[in-house]
Structure 1
Amino acid sequence: MSTIAFELPTMTCGHCVKAVTAAIQTVDKQAQVVIDLPTHQVRVDTGASQAQLAQALKEAGYEPA
């Protein structure tokens, strides 16, 4: 497992947090997701690649900065 971080400027509310978490967990059901909403930061402990997670986030409407 590795820790991957993303900045998601368009993540602004509780609904966004749920959508981002769900998108990440479609790639890795066991991923541990930690979100800091005020700073738009997401940290993921996962076995998936950064590219896989970034693609899932894009498909959910959250473009990593």
Structure 2
Amino acid sequence: MWRRWRRRRAPSPPSPPRCVTWPSTATATSGPTAPSSTSWKDAMATVALKVEGMSCQHCVRAITAAIRERDPAAEVRVDLAAGTVHAETSLPREAVAAAVAAEGYTVAG
């Protein structure tokens, strides 16, 4: 009886960890770190922009990705019919407008 010889595969490399660790919001004191008095959610503000030139879901993804590239915790809502972008983010309004303009859209107000 003939045996089939099989090659042994090399073990696959370990996969990278799937969890994301965010920087601590604690403030340093003279002893152990104390929790911060304000959470990251308190620093978030809603920014509303009137944007011209949006017409499809590609526009929605491009604008959302541009804002989240600068603030990964941002929550972005785009209304194509009204031509508005609402972002709950810690970025100032000017930074959100610059991110949208960098994608090639006109920020009207």
TM-score range, shorter chain: over 0.9
Q: What amino acid sits opposite 1:17 in the alignment?
A: V
Query: Does 2:88 match 1:39?
Result: no
Q: What TM-score do you get using the length of structure 2 for normalisation? A: 0.57
Number of aligned residues = 65
Match of residue 96, structure 2, among 35, 53, 60: 53
Moved over 2 A (4+): none
TM-score between both structures, scaled by the size of structure 1: 0.93
Greater C-alpha Rg: 2
Higher relative contact order (CA 8 A, sep 6+): 1
CA shift digits 1:29-55 (9 cap, x unpaired): 110001111111110000011111111
Match of 2:35 in 1: none
Q: SS of the residue aligned with 1:19?
A: helix
Q: CA deviation at 1:63?
A: 1.8
1:5 matched to 2:48? The reply is yes
Point out the structure with the larger helix share. 1
**Aligned AA (1:34):** R
Indicate the SS of the match to 2:73: coil
Indicate which of 21, 25, 43 corresponds to 2:68. Answer: 25
Gaps of 5+ in 2: 1-43
Distance 1:9 1:51 in 2: 17
